[in-house]
Amino acid sequence: PSSRSLSSRSWAEFAKRKILTFEHALADPVVAASAFIHPAAFVEGDVRIGEHCSVWPQTVVRGDVNYIEIGAGTNIQDSCVLHVRGDFPERQVGRPLIIGEGVSLGHQACLHACTVEDRVLVGIGAVILDGAVLKSGVLVAAGAVISPGKVCEAGLWAGVPAKRIRDLNPQEEAMLTWQSQTANPWPLTPKPYTPGSSLRNLRP
């Protein structure tokens, strides 16, 4: 075998051993009975998902080196990536990922070790980086990048790096209110989450 392949295997073994030293990696996800997790989503480690949430195909929710908490009624759409930051002495301080209630994450949104308060909408493909805080009433435009440690007050944020553009207009405010109240369009899911659950389970 080539030295490159040996090196890759060695790194994989090191990473596996290192991650398994974190108590979070060995935890089982705690998913509310009324939440829906699509069978093609990946939910692993110290993850807590609240009532009436929905997590859609190809989304990764990985609480391996810290915890992830997702509030009630939050909607995480297809191909989102949710991850955390581990605590490595002399290198970095760990940070969890905390998402409030009535939040909607558009397709392919990426949230890393940040905080999202209640009633927030994150647009398609937006990136929210370590230590950022999205206050209630924030709408993040598609493709925007929220810089590390940025505190975003209510309003429309857009650009790379994202800046506050303006207050939300009445239509946007109404959309935020609507999505925060209907984040899980299938509130008929009283069954506990188990791998392999499917949309067929949602029939009345």
pLDDT tens for residues 34-65? 898 988 999 988 999 999 899 999 999 999 88
Of 4-13, 20-29, 38-47, 175-184, which gets the smallest average pLDDT?
A: 4-13
Q: Which amino acid is at 7?
A: S
Q: Where are the beta strands (DSSP E) in 103-147?
A: 104-105, 110-112, 115-116, 121-122, 127-128, 133-134, 138-140, 145-146
Structure tokens at 45: 């480690």
Average pLDDT over residues 144-150: 98
DSSP 8-state secondary structure symbol assigned to residue 88? B
Q: What is the pLDDT of residue 90?
A: 74
Q: What is the pLDDT of residue 88?
A: 76
Q: Is the pLDDT of residue 195 over 70?
A: no
Q: Is the pLDDT of residue 15 over 90?
A: no
- 187: which residues sit within 8 A by CB, 6+ positions away? 34, 52
Q: What is the pLDDT of residue 193?
A: 53
Q: Is the pLDDT of residue 98 over 60?
A: yes
Q: What is the pLDDT of residue 3?
A: 43
**Can you name the residues that pair with 60 across neighbouring β-strands?**
42, 81
Q: Closest by alpha carbon to 80, among 106, 54, 47, 99?
A: 106
Q: Closest by alpha carbon to 76, among 130, 24, 40?
A: 40
- 176: which residues sit within 8 A by CB, 6+ positions away? 119, 120, 121, 137, 139, 168
Query: Residue 181 CB: number of other CB atoms within 10 A?
Result: 10
Mean pLDDT of the chain: 84
Q: Closest by alpha carbon to 131, among 158, 96, 104, 100?
A: 96
pLDDT in tens, 64-93: 889 999 999 999 999 999 999 988 777 788
> In percent, how much of the chain has pLDDT > 90?
61
The confidence band for 188, taking pLDDT boundaries of 50, 70 and 90, is very low
DSSP 8-state secondary structure symbol assigned to residue 154? S
Average pLDDT over residues 197-203: 41
Q: Closest by alpha carbon to 116, among 146, 86, 158?
A: 146
Cα distance between residue 60 and residue 145, in whole Å: 19
Q: Which amino acid is at 85?
A: R
Q: What is the pLDDT of residue 27?
A: 84
DSSP 8-state secondary structure symbol assigned to residue 23? G
Q: Is the pLDDT of residue 198 over 50?
A: no
Q: Which amino acid is at 123?
A: G
